[in-house]
Amino acid sequence: MPNDTSALEERLAHLERTTDDLSSVVARQDRDIALLTRRLALLIEREADRQADSAGGVVMGDERPPHY
């Protein structure tokens, strides 16, 4: 009986460590996702501003670029 208890305690300790490790990974991923979401929003806003500033110019698909 004592052997069963110590085996269960050992297994529980491993499970607790795994849970703590996974919790740390999920917390880091949450921070990374929040940062990337903010950066993406800034890039989208910057691109929208850039397109608004250059409004009026129509690019034709078969038109040669000016450097030709």
What amino acid is encoded at 50 in this protein? R
Does residue 43 surpass a pLDDT of 70? yes
Indicate the domain borders of the chain.
1-53
Dist. CA 43–CA 68, nearest whole Å: 30
Give the residue-averaged pLDDT of 2-20: 94
- pLDDT at residue 68 above 70? no
pLDDT of residue 61: 67
Residues 63 and 57: their CA atoms lie apart, in Å, by 13
**pLDDT score, position 39:** 98
What is the reported pTM? 0.63
- Residue 52: phi, psi to the nearest 5? -65, -35
pLDDT band at residue 66, thresholds of 50, 70 and 90?
confident
CA distance linking residue 62 with residue 67, whole number of Å: 15
Cα 43 from Cα 49, distance rounded (Å)? 10
